[in-house]
């Protein structure tokens, strides 16, 4: 069930979303994140994995150990899809904005739960979201 | 896909989630509960999430939907056993679950529903 650091896993089903949570939990615990921070990162990853599957038409997730400011250990996760992309990133990141199927908390929530958040999207090309969280 | 079993104790339907919640599992639980409330006439639903290590926006929203739905069918839902880390994360996520009643554990949840300890005869639920 555990992938080596930096391994890429597919997100092509609801089961894969559950698997992403498990992989991120393992990586976050190994990096020394507190239980609360692990839970925040796993929740953010769950939101982003669901977006990759439901809106991006499936894609991949890569989780790796990383080092933040002042050498703090942590985890970085990259979600990538080759889906339709997000036409208005600003709007998609505003709280409560929804494409129609959810509460509109997915992206804005994932950003709030992470220490680092980066979203790149191009219409027709796909979306890449990177999040990271560091041990305190 | 796994299905979450629904137990009946007196006037209360009890659901204890012991699996990793996949979206389809949560939706199936919602439908199964609606069906069981109608068939049994239960006046209370307890969802025990002691073993659930994350609640994201989809899972949280479905709990809220179950609570509203059961209320429309004369049944009160209580979510019990939320872990501290899950509660902190939900608030930061922006999901306060305002419409969902909660209790710290199963026993408190039963008391909230006026059902007392399992095995006791359930009196009419007192929601005051």
CATH for B94:
3.30.750.24
ipTM value for the complex? 0.88
Helix A35-54, helix A106-113: angle, nearest 10: 150
Which residues of chain B carry a pLDDT beneath 70? 116-128
Residue A11 in contact with partner chain B when CB distance is under 8 A: no
Of A15-24, A27-36, A102-111, the poorest mean pLDDT is in A102-111
Which residue segment(s) compose the domain that B32 sits in?
6-107
pLDDT tens per residue, range A70-86: 999 999 999 999 999 98
Tokens 């989809």 found at: B58
Inspect the interface and report whether the beta carbons of A112 and B94 lie closer than 8 Å. Answer: yes
pLDDT score recorded for residue B87:
97
Determine, yes or no, domain membership for B112.
no
pLDDT score recorded for residue A104:
66
CATH for A113:
3.30.565.10
CB pairs < 8 Å spanning A and B: 69
Determine, yes or no, domain membership for B119.
no
**For residue A112, how many C-alpha atoms fall within 13 Å in the half-sphere facing its CB?**
17
Written as six digits, the tokens of B116 are: 């007392």
Domain count, chain A: 1
Domain count, chain B: 1
pLDDT tens per residue, range A80-127: 999 999 888 888 887 666 665 555 678 999 999 999 999 999 999 999
Determine, yes or no, domain membership for A123.
yes
B26 to chain A: closest CA residue: A14
Determine, yes or no, domain membership for A114.
yes
The whole-angstrom distance between B88's CA and the closest CA on chain A is: 7
Inspect the interface and report whether the beta carbons of B93 and A14 lie closer than 8 Å. Answer: no
Which residue segment(s) compose the domain that A99 sits in?
8-134
Task: Please write down the HEC assignment for all residues of chain A.
Answer: CCCCCCCEEEECCHHHHHHHHHHHHHHHHHCCCCHHHHHHHHHHHHHHHHHHHHCCCCEEEEEEEEECHHHCEEEEEEEEECCCCCCCHHHHHCCCCCCCCCCCCHHHHHHHHCCEEEEEEECCCEEEEEEEEECC
Cβ–Cβ < 8 Å for B42, B13: yes
Closest to A107 in 3D by CA, of A63, A64, A58, A43: A43
Determine, yes or no, domain membership for A1.
no
pLDDT tens per residue, range B77-103: 999 999 999 999 999 998 888 889 999
Determine, yes or no, domain membership for A42.
yes
Q: Which residues of B touch A42 (CB under 8 A)?
A: 53-54
The whole-angstrom distance between A7's CA and the closest CA on chain B is: 22
- The most distant pair of C-alpha atoms in chain A lies apart, rounded to whole Å, by 41
Determine, yes or no, domain membership for B78.
yes
Determine, yes or no, domain membership for B11.
yes
Closest to B12 in 3D by CA, of B62, B63, B48: B48
Cβ–Cβ < 8 Å for A22, A49: no
Determine, yes or no, domain membership for B126.
no
Determine, yes or no, domain membership for A2.
no
Residue B28 in contact with partner chain A when CB distance is under 8 A: no
């Amino acid at each position: 069930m555990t992938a080596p650091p930096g391994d890429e896993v597919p997100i092509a089903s609801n089961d894969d979303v559950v698997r992403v949570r498990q992989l991120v939990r393992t990586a976050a615990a190994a990096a020394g994140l507190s239980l609360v921070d692990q839970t925040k990162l796993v929740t953010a990853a769950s939101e982003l994995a669901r977006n990759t599957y439901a809106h991006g038409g499936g894609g991949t997730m890569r989780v790796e150990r990383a080092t933040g400011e002042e050498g703090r250990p942590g985890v970085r996760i990259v979600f990538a899809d080759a889906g339709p992309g997000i036409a208005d990133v600003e709007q998609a990141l505003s709280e409560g904005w929804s494409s129609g199927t959810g509460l509109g908390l997915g992206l804005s929530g994932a950003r709030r739960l992470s220490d680092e958040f980066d979203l790149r999207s191009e219409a027709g090309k796909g979306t890449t979201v990177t999040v990271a969280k560091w041990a305190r | 896909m796994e299905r979450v079993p629904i137990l009946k104790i007196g006037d209360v339907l009890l659901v204890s989630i012991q699996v990793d919640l996949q979206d389809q599992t949560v939706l199936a639980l919602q439908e199964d509960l609606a069906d069981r409330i109608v068939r049994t006439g239960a006046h209370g639903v307890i969802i025990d999430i002691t073993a659930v290590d994350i609640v994201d926006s989809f899972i949280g929203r479905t709990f809220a939907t179950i609570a509203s739905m059961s209320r429309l069918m004369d049944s009160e839902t209580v979510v019990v056993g939320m872990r501290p880390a899950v509660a902190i994360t939900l608030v930061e996520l922006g999901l306060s679950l305002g419409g969902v009643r909660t209790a710290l554990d199963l026993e408190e949840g039963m008391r909230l529903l006026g059902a007392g300890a399992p095995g006791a005869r359930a009196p009419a639920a007192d929601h005051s």
